Amino acid sequence: MADHRILLLGPPGAGKGTQAKRLTAEYDLDHITTGDALRQNKDMETEYGTPGEYMDAGELVPDPVVNEIVVAALEEADGFVLDGYPRNLDQAEFLSEETDLDHVVFLDVPEQELVDRLTGRRVCDDCGANYHVEFDRPEEEGVCDECGGELIQREDDTEDTVRERLRVYRENTEPVVEHYRDEGVLVEVSGEGTPDEVFGRLRDVVEN
Known active-site residue 165 = yes
Whether 181 is a known active-site residue: answer no
Q: Which of 5, 117, 121, 122 is catalytic?
A: 121
CA angle 79, 84, 89 (to 5 degrees): 105
Q: For Cα atoms 58, 63, 69, give the angle at the middle one, nearest 5 degrees.
A: 90
Closest-CA residue to 176 (of 60, 94, 110, 112): 94
Enumerate helices (H) and strands (E) in the chain, giving the number of each. 8, 8
Decide if 154 is catalytic. Answer: yes
- Per-residue buried b or exposed e for 9-33, using 16+ beta carbons within 10 Å of the residue's own CB: bbbbbbbbeebbebbbeebebbbbb
Answer yes or no: 170 catalytic: no
CA atoms within 13 Å, Cβ hemisphere of 4: 24
Catalytic residue among 5, 16, 122, 201: 16
Q: Is 121 a catalytic residue?
A: yes
Of the residues 21, 87, 137, 203, which is catalytic?
A: 87
Active centre residues (catalytic): 16, 87, 121, 154, 165
